[in-house]
Amino acid sequence: MGAAQSTPVIKALKQALDNDDDLYAFPGRPLYQLRYVKPYNMDRPVKPAAITYPKTKEQVAAIVKVAADFGLKVQPRSGGHSYANYCLGGVNGCIVIDLKRFQQFKMDEMTWNATVGAGTLLGDVTKRMHDAGNRAVAHGTCPQVGVGGQATIGGLGPSSRMWGSLLDHISEMEVVLADSSIVRASATQNTDIFWACRGAGASFGIVTEFILRTKPEPGEAIQYSFSFTGRPYASLAKLFKKWQTFVADPKLTRKFATSVVITELGMVITGTFFGSRAEYDALQLSKLFPGSANAHTVVLKDWLGTVASWAEDAALQLGGGIASPIYTKSMTFNGCHLIPDAAIERMFAYLDIVKKGTPIWFIIFDLEGGAINDVPAAATAYAHRDALFYMQSYAVGIPKLRARTRGFLRGFHDVLLKSVPGGDTFGAYAGYVDPELTDGQRQYWRGNLSRLEEIKAEVDPGEVFWNPQSVRPAGGVEMEKMGRLRKTERRRFGDVFCGLFC
C-alpha cells in the first residue's frame, strides 16, 4: 500500500475538509472511477489518490498542505476536458482538487468587471454575464469546459480575433500557492504569479477566482457554412488554398471567424461573422468557395443564440462533454509558416490513401490572429502571439483506439512537419495537450519557458503542482535539456527574423 492510501494521508485530507463525506472520495469507494475520477480521455487510464471537492479557498489551501506534507502531487479540475487527463495529474499518487463548488459571480456595474469562480463552466459564464448587463468575454465553443482551465491556458474562440484570448480579459486572480498561502495576483501585486498563471496556470497554483474585464455583447451575427462532399479528398485542395490565402490577408476584418473541418464525409468551411448581413455579403464567400453541396447562413440577432450555435457545432464535431477514447495532435502556424501549395496537395492526397481505423475523426484548422496577436509574446506566459491558425486533429476509438488510427493522425502531422518550411520549429497549444511531444514544455511555452522555470523554482521547487508536461523548476534541468535550450535559442533568432521580415 503506497503513501497515498495510508491512513495518515486519508485522515489529514478528511480533516482538511472538515470530515464532510461529500467533499472527498478515495479509491475503494463504489464507482470511484466512473463517478468521481471521470476521465475525459478513456484511452488514458489514471487512478488518482483522491478526488476532493472543497467549498472554500481555505479548504483548497489545506489540501495543498496535506499533499506537500506527504510528498503527493496536486492538479486542479474545473471542467475536466484535458485530452491526456492531466486535470487528474496524469499518474497515480495525485490529489485532484475539483473546483465545481466555486461558482461565485458578481458584476461591478461601474467598471463592468466580473468576478467569476474558477469552477464555472463556459455555458454558465455566458448566461450569467448576459443576465448581469449583456456583457461577454472571449472563450471557446464547448459549454462544458471550465473557465479555470481555459483561462489559465489561453482560451481561444470565435470572438478572439476581436477581443483576444480569455486570459487577456483577466485583471486579477486569487491563487493558492504550493506553500498553501492564498494570494491575489494582478499587474501590481504578485506580478510573476499573474504572468505565469496566464498561460501555464496548472504548474503554479490553483486559481479559485478571476476578475474579468468584460465587453458589451455583439449584436447581429451571421453563422455560415459551406459543405463539400465526395471523393477524392485531393479535389478539395484548391478550396483549402483559397481559404488560406483569404485568411492570411493582414487586412482581413477582425469580425470574421472561420474554421476548416475535414471529416470522413468531406470538408466544411464554417464560422461566424460579427456584423450585419450586408457586411457579410460584401465578403462574397459564395464566390470564393463555389460548388458547395450545402451552403448555409443563419442570421443571429442575439449573443446567447450565437454562442448556442457554436455549442451545437462543437457537439457535432467532438461529442461535447462525452468521455471517449480519443487520440489528438496539434500544430501552430504563424504568418511565416503558411502551408505551401505542394504541401496542401500532399496532405489531401494522404487522406485518400491512408487507412483511418475509425469513421469518427476530425482535422480542424482554426483561424486566430487579430487581437490575440496585438499582445507581445512576453506579456503573458501564453506564447503563441504570432499564430495565424491552429491545426487540431482528433480521432475517436470504437470501442477502443487502434494502432492504425494513431498512425493515421501521426502520419498527417508528419506530412505537414516535413512539407512546411520551418516545420521543426512549430509550437503546440497547451489546451490541445499532446502527451507524445518529446519537448512539450518548449513547444507549449516557447521563448517564455526559461522565465517560467525560474518562477517555478521560486514558488514551487518541490513540484507540488505537477503533471507529465508541466513546467519544471530551473536548476533541476538536465544537461541534455540545456543543450536543446541552446539549440532553441538559435531557432528563436530565426523566428524573430521571420516575424520582422516575412
Residue 271 lies in a domain: yes
Per the CB < 8 A criterion, the answer to whether 141 and 157 are in contact is yes
The span from the CA of 300 to the CA of 307, in Å, is: 10
Q: How many domains does the chain have?
A: 3
Residue 247 lies in a domain: yes
Please indicate, yes or no, whether residues 203 and 230 belong to a single structural domain of this protein: no
Whether the CA torsion 37, 43, 44, 46 is positive or negative: it is positive
Q: Which residues lie closer than 8 Å to 480 by C-beta, 6 or more apart?
A: none
Supply 222's cell numbers.
451571421
The span from the CA of 126 to the CA of 340, in Å, is: 39
Please indicate, yes or no, whether residues 126 and 163 belong to a single structural domain of this protein: yes
CATH number of the domain bearing residue 204: 3.30.465.10
Residue 449 lies in a domain: no
Please indicate, yes or no, whether residues 339 and 424 belong to a single structural domain of this protein: yes
Please indicate, yes or no, whether residues 111 and 203 belong to a single structural domain of this protein: yes
CATH number of the domain bearing residue 94: 3.30.43.10
| Dihedral (Cα; 17, 152, 38, 122), 10-degree rounding | 100
Other C-beta atoms within 10 Å of 396: how many?
20
Residue 62 lies in a domain: yes
Per the CB < 8 A criterion, the answer to whether 112 and 92 are in contact is no
Residue 490 lies in a domain: no
CA-to-CA separations, 150 to 81, 155, 348, in angstroms, rounded: 10, 5, 31
- pLDDT given for residue 426 in this prediction: 82
Please indicate, yes or no, whether residues 19 and 87 belong to a single structural domain of this protein: yes
212: closest CA among 115, 127, 78?
Answer: 115
- What's the pTM? 0.92
256: closest CA among 160, 164, 338, 169?
Answer: 160
- What is the DSSP secondary-structure string of 369-418? -GGGGGS-TTSSS---TTEEEEEEEEEE-SSS--HHHHHHHHHHHHHHHH
**10-residue mean pLDDT series, the chain (502 residues):** 66 97 95 94 94 98 97 96 92 92 98 98 97 97 94 97 98 98 98 98 98 96 93 96 96 97 95 96 96 91 90 57 88 85 97 96 95 97 95 93 97 93 82 92 96 98 96 72 42 35 32
End residue of a domain, out of 432, 460, 484: 432
Please indicate, yes or no, whether residues 227 and 167 belong to a single structural domain of this protein: no
Please indicate, yes or no, whether residues 180 and 234 belong to a single structural domain of this protein: no
Supply 144's cell numbers.
462544458
Residue 254 lies in a domain: yes
Please indicate, yes or no, whether residues 268 and 407 belong to a single structural domain of this protein: yes
Please indicate, yes or no, whether residues 191 and 285 belong to a single structural domain of this protein: no
- Structural domain for 53, as ranges: 3-98
Supply 67's cell numbers.
499533499
341-353 and 403-419 helices, crossing angle to 10°: 160
Q: Which residues lie closer than 8 Å to 501 by C-beta, 6 or more apart?
A: none
Residue 246 lies in a domain: yes
End residue of a domain, out of 157, 181, 216: 216
End residue of a domain, out of 182, 197, 216: 216
Residue 292 lies in a domain: yes
User: Which of the 8 DSSP states describes residue 456?
Assistant: H
CATH number of the domain bearing residue 377: 3.40.462.20
- pLDDT given for residue 384 in this prediction: 95
Supply 392's cell numbers.
487540431
Please indicate, yes or no, whether residues 253 and 383 belong to a single structural domain of this protein: yes
Please indicate, yes or no, whether residues 210 and 235 belong to a single structural domain of this protein: no
Please indicate, yes or no, whether residues 87 and 156 belong to a single structural domain of this protein: no
- pLDDT given for residue 321 in this prediction: 62
